[in-house]
Amino acid sequence: MKKTIIITSIIFSIVGAGANFVYDKFTLLTSQISNLKTINKNLQTKNNALTKKQEDIKNKISQRKKELYKQKLSRAKKKLGKATISAIPFIGTSSVVGMTYWEMQNYCNDIKEFKKFEESIFGEYDQTISVEEKAICGYDYETIENIVLKDLNEFETDTKNWASKTYDQWINNLDSELNRIKNEFIDTK
């Protein structure tokens, strides 16, 4: 009987120690799970905020891309107009000056818009201004006009010769094209 009581005491001691160990581990794990739930909730909140910010950035970039496409297409149209006008020397000089001034102002505006765009995304932008930006964006209409007129005056004879040759080339090209079209479309019917 003594042996039974001793064995039973040992068994209860072992079971008690095991139960105490399990209880301690359970309490620790419960606390850790609670902490992990709190951390997870905080991370989900941060993730949602970052996802929204990323979506805002994507929308801003998409909108900026559309604006740039629109601007570039508009400039391409204006450049085509400029090319036609500037092909006629002296008559198109004022148009060349105006279009050059307009193009330079647009490029400077692009730089300003990009800085605003950068600021809208990052909250700040690099405010340094390059030497080229200071020079180009500092030109006014009269300065550009003087540069173009100076070049035209320096190369007046060359410009006249070029205009004469270009006119002759245009006439020859138009005649060739007209003959080609006539042969291709009129003579085949």
The residue with greater pLDDT, 106 or 41, is: 41
Amino acid at 22: V
Q: What is the mean pLDDT of residues 28-42?
A: 91
Q: What is the pLDDT of residue 44?
A: 95
Quick one: pLDDT band at residue 188, thresholds 50, 70, 90? low
pTM above 0.75, yes or no: no
- Higher-pLDDT residue of 69 and 164 is 164
Q: How far apart are CA 48 and CA 54, in angstroms?
A: 10
Burial string for 10-42 (b: 16+ CB within 10 Å, else e) reads: eeeeeeeeeeeeeeeeeeeeeeeeeeeeeeeee
% of the chain residues with pLDDT over 70: 71
Tokens of 154: 């320096």
Distance of CA 112 to the CA centre of its chain: 13
| Residue 158 scores a pLDDT above 60 | yes
- Nearest alpha carbon to residue 93 among 85, 103, 105, 101: 85
Looking at residues 89-109, what average pLDDT do you find? 70
Give the domain ranges of the chain.
Answer: 2-154, 155-189
In terms of Cα–Cα distance, which of 26, 30, 6 is closest to 18?
Answer: 26
- What's the full length of the chain, in residues? 189
